[in-house]
């Protein structure tokens, strides 16, 4: 069935960018956010702001969720008079939130019983990627549902590989963000070593980025947000703490011992006062300076 109307639930830094991209790509877009303050920005982007969640869930051909927590996703999926009550067509939900695989699989089962589909499709690329339609999406779910959602996935992303069954997208995202969380700490410490030994971080990172120590942290985040002291990537420390916690919970459920990752988790948790949840997550590259630790 053709998808012409897409509902976007959650119009924050990521959701609004994705909604605006879908408008540009020719979709009719309905937007909902719990904050009515998002209405003006949504309407300026050509998004029809709908103040009642159920109306979006009942009218859209496909849905994109951009929500902070798994419990928020579950609340939207199960809202009375919403998606579970629809019988007019098969609706595919593209959940771009970073959630835990168990919750995803359970909600996918509930939606399947109602004749609908859930793809876990967490994203990488930040607000700029959302606004430009260049995200990387990591998609879990059935091949048939992936094919059904492909027009929307293509509009939102530069890459949207189907990585496996339900929950697989969230597994890949948690693995990715666990690495990012660790790389911010280790790259920050390496640059601190360089400066203490007499070479500026600016000069050191240029060389690292031509050698085997490079990563997205050194190549993108250090030049753009850390060395510039702008710290405005658009992704919060609180969201990264949540992702690290989910990754370590998945490790415990999978009975795998990750001692270094566990220590990274303790560093992220131990810096809440100096780097509060609302701060940009790139400040973690400076975590020792922020806490006064030496």
The model's pLDDT over 228-246, given as tens digits with 9 standing for 90+, comes to: 999 999 999 999 999 999 9
* Last residue within a domain, chosen from 99, 134, 165: 165
* Last residue within a domain, chosen from 165, 184, 205: 165
* Last residue within a domain, chosen from 115, 133, 165: 165
Q: How confident is the model at residue 73 (pLDDT cuts 50, 70, 90)?
A: very high
Q: Are residues 190 and 151 in the same domain?
A: no
Q: Name residue, tokens 């999406």.
A: 137
CATH of residue 35: 3.40.50.720
Q: Are residues 122 and 241 in the same domain?
A: no
Q: Are residues 232 and 273 in the same domain?
A: yes
Q: How many domains does the chain have?
A: 2
Q: What's the rounded mean pLDDT across residues 166-188?
A: 97
Whether the pLDDT of residue 288 is over 80: the answer is: no
How far apart are alpha carbons 260 and 3 in whole angstroms? 45
Q: What's the rounded mean pLDDT across residues 8-26?
A: 97
Q: Are residues 128 and 192 in the same domain?
A: no
Q: Are residues 56 and 199 in the same domain?
A: no
Q: Are residues 84 and 110 in the same domain?
A: yes
Whether the pLDDT of residue 292 is over 80: the answer is: no
Q: Where are the beta strands (DSSP E) in the chain?
A: 5-9, 28-32, 48-49, 62-65, 92-95, 117-120, 123-124, 135-137, 139-140, 157-159, 162-164
The model's pLDDT over 98-121, given as tens digits with 9 standing for 90+, comes to: 999 999 999 999 999 999 999 999
The reported pLDDT for the residue numbered 286 is 84
How far apart are alpha carbons 85 and 69 in whole angstroms? 23
Those residues with Cβ within 8 angstroms of residue 48's Cβ, 6 or more apart along the chain or in another chain: 28, 29, 30, 31, 42
Q: How confident is the model at residue 272 (pLDDT cuts 50, 70, 90)?
A: very high
The reported pLDDT for the residue numbered 289 is 62
Residue 206 annotated among the catalytic residues of the structure: no
Q: Are residues 30 and 147 in the same domain?
A: yes
The reported pLDDT for the residue numbered 1 is 79
Q: Are residues 80 and 60 in the same domain?
A: yes
Active-site residue (options: 25, 173, 206, 242):
173
Which H helix or E strand runs over 142? none
Parent domain of 156 = 5-165
Q: What's the rounded mean pLDDT across residues 14-42?
A: 97
Q: Give the global pTM.
A: 0.91
CATH of residue 193: 1.10.1040.10
The model's pLDDT over 128-176, given as tens digits with 9 standing for 90+, comes to: 999 999 999 999 999 999 999 999 999 999 999 999 999 999 999 999 9
The reported pLDDT for the residue numbered 290 is 54
Q: Are residues 127 and 105 in the same domain?
A: yes
With a pLDDT cut of 70, the percent of the chain lying above it is: 98
Q: Are residues 37 and 159 in the same domain?
A: yes
The reported pLDDT for the residue numbered 129 is 95
Q: Are residues 32 and 108 in the same domain?
A: yes
Whether the pLDDT of residue 18 is over 80: the answer is: yes
Q: What's the rounded mean pLDDT across residues 251-276?
A: 97
Q: Are residues 50 and 106 in the same domain?
A: yes
């Amino acid at each position: 069935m053709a998808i012409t109307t897409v509902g976007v639930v959650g119009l924050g830094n990521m959701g609004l960018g994705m909604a605006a991209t879908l408008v540009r790509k020719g979709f009719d877009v309905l937007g909902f956010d719990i904050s009515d303050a998002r209405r003006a920005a949504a309407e300026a982007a050509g998004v029809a702001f709908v103040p009642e969640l159920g109306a979006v869930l009942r009218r859209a051909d496909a849905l994109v969720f951009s929500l902070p927590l798994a419990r928020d996703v579950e609340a939207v999926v199960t809202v009375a008079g919403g998606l579970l009550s629809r019988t007019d067509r098969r609706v595919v939900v593209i959940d771009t939130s970073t959630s835990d695989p168990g919750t995803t699989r359970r909600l996918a089962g509930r939606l399947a019983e109602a004749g609908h589909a859930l793809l876990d499709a967490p994203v990488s690329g930040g607000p700029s990627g959302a606004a430009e339609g260049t995200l990387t999406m990591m998609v879990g779910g059935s091949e048939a549902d992936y094919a059904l959602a492909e027009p929307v996935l293509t509009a939102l992303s530069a890459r949207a590989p189907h990585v496996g069954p339900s929950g697989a997208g969230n597994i890949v995202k948690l693995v990715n963000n666990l690495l990012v969380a660790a790389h911010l700490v280790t790259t920050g410490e390496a640059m601190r070593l360089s400066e203490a030994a007499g070479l500026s971080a600016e000069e050191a990172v240029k060389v690292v980025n031509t050698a085997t120590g490079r990563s997205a942290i050194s190549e993108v985040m250090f030049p753009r947000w850390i060395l510039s002291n702008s710290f405005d990537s658009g992704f919060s420390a609180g969201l990264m703490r949540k992702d690290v916690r989910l990754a370590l919970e998945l490790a415990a459920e999978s009975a795998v011992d990750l001692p270094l990752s566990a220590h990274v988790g303790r560093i992220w948790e131990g810096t809440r006062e100096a780097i509060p949840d609302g701060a940009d997550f790139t400040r973690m590259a400076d975590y020792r300076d922020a806490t006064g630790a030496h």
